[in-house]
Amino acid sequence: MRKRIVAGNWKMNKTYEEALTLVSEIDNMVKDEVNGDVTVIVAPPFPFLQSVGKLTQGNDRMHLAAQNVSEHESGAYTGEVSAAMLKSVGVQYVIIGHSERRMYHHEDAQSLYKKLKTAIAQGITPIFCCGEPLEERDADRHFDYVDKQLHDSLSYLSNEEFDNVVVAYEPIWAIGTGRTASSQQAQEMHAYIREQLSRMFDAEAAFKCSILYGGSCNPGNAKELFSQPDVDGGLIGGASLKSRDFTDIIKSF
Ligand code: PGA
């Protein structure tokens, strides 16, 4: 059985007080309302990680993620945050290769590979994001585009390293647009990703890898998306900023 995961990517939102309120609400709702074994992850901005982590410490189901990590281990890299630093404040997951980081911060495949390596070396599970822009889908090149993203950053990992990776498929045209992929589009891409992973790594590891869908996922469409055989959960942006919506998405499993 693959791990079922719902992760909230808060992006650059919330002040300190607002972040604590949001995570307390989510924590309580998860305790009171969520049955079963869904892994819930929250990814607040860097300055709030430690406090958010402390608030969720008593709840086994809640986990802490960072939204980014430096590709470097330590040293003179002003403004960067290392995997060891994240580890030392209780971070268990890290989002790597989100399209916003690829686009606005020019993160390329090689840098993403280094980020994967440094996170894994610290025992932090990467949530590796991939997904095509609209013009690639319209030109029917979305499978090749995603395959290249997987290949260029993931394929250099060993089987053992890959064992610790979660993949998130986030078509760029669906992120923050209100236009979600249909459950059929999500399923066919997730199945395709799993097949490519089984070529890069051993089949068992590919089968065990949780593949999350992201892009305008909300309480109204989560059930249908999560019911697909290769959709193992979601990476949620906008809807993760409201405790009610986020919890209802978690309850869609
Ligand atoms: P969205 O963002 O849910 O607001 O579309 C998803 C993401 O970027 O991870």
The domain limits of the chain are 5-250
Fold of 5-250: TIM Barrel (3.20.20)
CB within 8 Å of 19: residues ≥ 6 apart:
10, 44, 45, 48, 51, 52
Measure the CA–CA gap between 215 and 106, rounded to whole angstroms.
21
Query: For residue 235, which atom of ligand 1 is closest to its CA?
Result: 9
Measure the CA–CA gap between 135 and 2, rounded to whole angstroms.
32
What local confidence, expressed as pLDDT, does residue 35 receive?
83
Model pLDDT for residues 86-101, shown as the tens digit of each residue: 999 999 999 999 999 9
Q: Is the pLDDT of residue 62 over 90?
A: yes
Output the known binding site for substrate. Answer: 9-11, 176, 216, 237-238
DSSP string, 24-43: HHHHHHHHHH--S-EEEEEE
Tokens of 171: 């078509």
Backbone angles phi, psi at 37, to 5 degrees: -110, 50
CA 134 vs CA 144, 147, 216: distances in Å: 14, 16, 15
What local confidence, expressed as pLDDT, does residue 153 receive?
97
CB of residue 179 inside a 6 A radius of ligand 1: no
What local confidence, expressed as pLDDT, does residue 160 receive?
96
Q: Is the pLDDT of residue 1 over 90?
A: no
Model pLDDT for residues 69-125, shown as the tens digit of each residue: 999 999 999 999 999 999 999 999 999 999 999 999 999 999 999 999 999 999 999
Tokens of 118: 């440094």
CB of residue 237 inside a 6 A radius of ligand 1: yes
Nearest CA to ligand 1 atom 1: 237
Residues recognised as catalytic: 98, 170
Q: Is the pLDDT of residue 178 over 90?
A: no
Which pTM does this prediction carry? 0.98
CB of residue 218 inside a 6 A radius of ligand 1: no
Measure the CA–CA gap between 58 and 54, rounded to whole angstroms.
8
pLDDT band per the 50, 70, 90 thresholds, residue 227 = very high
